[in-house]
A and B are shown apart, each in its own frame.
Chain A
Amino acid sequence: MSEKMKVTYYPGCSSEATGRHLDESIRAVMPEVGVEMADIEDWNCCGASVGHIGGGPLPTLALNGRNLANAKKQGNEHVMTPCAACYLNTHGSNLTIRDDEAKREKVNEALKAGGMEAYEGDLKVHHAMEVLVNFVGMEKIAERATNKLKGLKVAGWVGCQTVRPFAETDDGGNYDTYEEPEFLDDITRACGAEAVPYEKKTNCCGGSVAVMKPEKTLHLMKLLLEEAEKAGADVISTPCPLCQTNLEMYQDAINAKYGTNFHIPVVFPSQLMAVAFGMDPQKDAALQRNTIRAEKLEKLAKK
């Protein structure tokens, strides 16, 4: 890749709450590997995973249209987001606006109502993970990882929307597979940690259904935790803020319901990177924000 890559950054709503540690660690590590980020001006919500129901397709499309139009103004062809749902909606909307003329006209009409310029769908939307795979490359991460996470056993849990359905990138081709993506384990290894075999790599935690009706999805999360435990993982690493929060905050409920005794920290790959890069465990890796603290990782962190 070219030494530096400029991206317009879309943090997404969770970055200001449940996903703060994702946002903070991404902001910390990306520049370290040559990715310069500038936030989308006055960005708004993407519609998340339930928006379409209440609002319907077009308003959801318009929400994303506004973000993209703003990004376009900032004159940089790459848009990057670390959030799976944001990626799904922004990428999907971008495609629709690009390929569906009728919808594009409607969106632009809506944008016009807000006094905004039309957007033609000519930006490229990337997931932060895709940027790491396709633009940064594992070598560069490994190179920068001066504080190798020796002995840390990591279960790489990709989840769903980070690769489905848009493993397919705007530059054509898939940045990894739908069923058995490897990038997460690659990052783990690049950080000097051990990627334990994790069969449920792309299993679902229940997503927003888990938020609304946990009782229906606890068994899914139990399975994910069991697998990690079987594999002897110290931490589970996931790129998805909703996955991270769900799996972290429902462990008590699971233990209560199934009489289990899970206490497995769930971290973001960017947190692993921050520690491996020898950066500040609080300011950069935001480890203090995990409600189940990743002690072993914290011990590895440079004080």
Chain B
Amino acid sequence: MTAAIPATSRTYDLSFARWVRENVKGGDKMNLCMQCGVCSGSCPIGSEMDNGPRKTFMMVRAGMKDEVLSSTTLWNCTSCYRCYVRCPRGIPVTSIIQGLAAVAAKEGYADKEKVSNYYFSKAFWWSARSFGKTDERLVTMKYFFSFGLVEGIKRALANLKIALGMVKAGRMHIGMPHSIRNKSQLKAIIAKAAELESKG
């Protein structure tokens, strides 16, 4: 990301909103929100969200950085894109919520209990980096165990039946993970991208 997020000194200090505008994908459209509620009303698991997209946008305007970045809204987006295509102001709502989630992760707002996505994503990137592909089996395992050994085993066992079914159906293989050939190339590319990202 670019310049660090400015601290907000007072309510409706717009510096946070404007930082989001510059640094979050789709953020440039966020201020167009007219607070109609279609996005939050369209969300399949909106009930799992404390604020929902609409209010989140209002809170960004109000400069409520902490509340926004620690909000459960960011971690329960199923990426169904209903809000995105329905928004009467053409705001890419999904992208902004996901963008804010990325920010929250970077800024260390992702706390284990609440924010499993973050760990899932981490596990996922581990796989992507190491093999260039997602090995669902390993990602899931790594994800489970990112909650600690006990929790990991618990979750693993809970899903054992499913896993076995998958193995039986040939949809989960045993043995070495799938991998691309030119791993070094991919590593270099991702590394560079990450570097550029942090530079902005």
Interface segment, one of A14-22, A141-149, A262-270, A272-280: A14-22
Interchain nearest-CB distance for A250 vs B (Å) = 8
In the bound complex, CA of A288 to CA of B169 (Å)? 7
Report yes or no: B102 in contact with A110, Cβ–Cβ below 8 A: no
Categorize the interface residue count of chain B: 35 or more
Report yes or no: A114 in contact with B99, Cβ–Cβ below 8 A: no
Report yes or no: A115 in contact with B185, Cβ–Cβ below 8 A: yes
Contacts of B122 in A (CB 8 A): 54
Chain A, 192-207, CB within 8 A of any chain B CB = 202-207
Contacts of A216 in B (CB 8 A): 45, 48, 76
Chain A, 51-86, CB within 8 A of any chain B CB = 51-59, 61-63, 65-66
Contacts of A217 in B (CB 8 A): 44-45, 78
Report yes or no: B196 in contact with A52, Cβ–Cβ below 8 A: no
Q: A13-B178, A44-B133, A113-B188 are in contact. Are A49 and B44 (CB under 8 A)?
A: no
In the bound complex, CA of A116 to CA of B48 (Å)? 43
Interchain nearest-CB distance for B25 vs A (Å) = 6
Any chain A CB within 8 A of the CB of B124? Answer: yes
Any chain A CB within 8 A of the CB of B189? Answer: yes
Any chain A CB within 8 A of the CB of B10? Answer: no
In the bound complex, CA of A5 to CA of B87 (Å)? 36
Closest B residue to A60 by beta carbon equals B193
CB-contact partner of A55 in B125, B165, B192, under 8 A = B125
Q: A13-B136, A110-B193, A249-B162 are in contact. Are A164 and B128 (CB under 8 A)?
A: no
Chain A, 1-51, CB within 8 A of any chain B CB = 13-14, 16-21, 42-45, 47-51
Any chain B CB within 8 A of the CB of A227? Answer: no
In the bound complex, CA of A161 to CA of B86 (Å)? 14
Interchain nearest-CB distance for A90 vs B (Å) = 14
CB-contact partner of B171 in A13, A17, A61, under 8 A = A17
Closest B residue to A115 by beta carbon equals B185
Report yes or no: A44 in contact with B128, Cβ–Cβ below 8 A: yes
In the bound complex, CA of A146 to CA of B79 (Å)? 38
Q: A51-B128, A57-B25, A114-B186 are in contact. Are A106 and B196 (CB under 8 A)?
A: yes
In the bound complex, CA of A44 to CA of B186 (Å)? 8
Residues of chain B whose beta carbon lies under 8 Å from any beta carbon of chain A: 1, 25, 44-45, 48, 76-82, 84-86, 92, 94, 98-99, 101-102, 105-106, 116-118, 120-122, 124-125, 127-128, 132-137, 140, 143, 161-162, 165-166, 168-173, 178, 180-182, 185-186, 188-194, 196-197
Residues of chain A whose beta carbon lies under 8 Å from any beta carbon of chain B: 13-14, 16-21, 42-45, 47-59, 61-63, 65-66, 88, 106-107, 109-116, 160-161, 164-165, 178, 202-213, 216-217, 220, 245, 249, 252, 288-291
* CB pairs A–B below 8 angstroms (27 shown): A18-B171, A44-B128, A45-B127, A51-B124, A53-B102, A54-B118, A57-B25, A58-B194, A59-B194, A61-B193, A62-B189, A63-B128, A112-B192, A114-B189, A114-B192, A160-B79, A160-B82, A165-B84, A165-B85, A178-B85, A202-B82, A208-B79, A209-B78, A210-B78, A245-B171, A289-B170, A291-B166
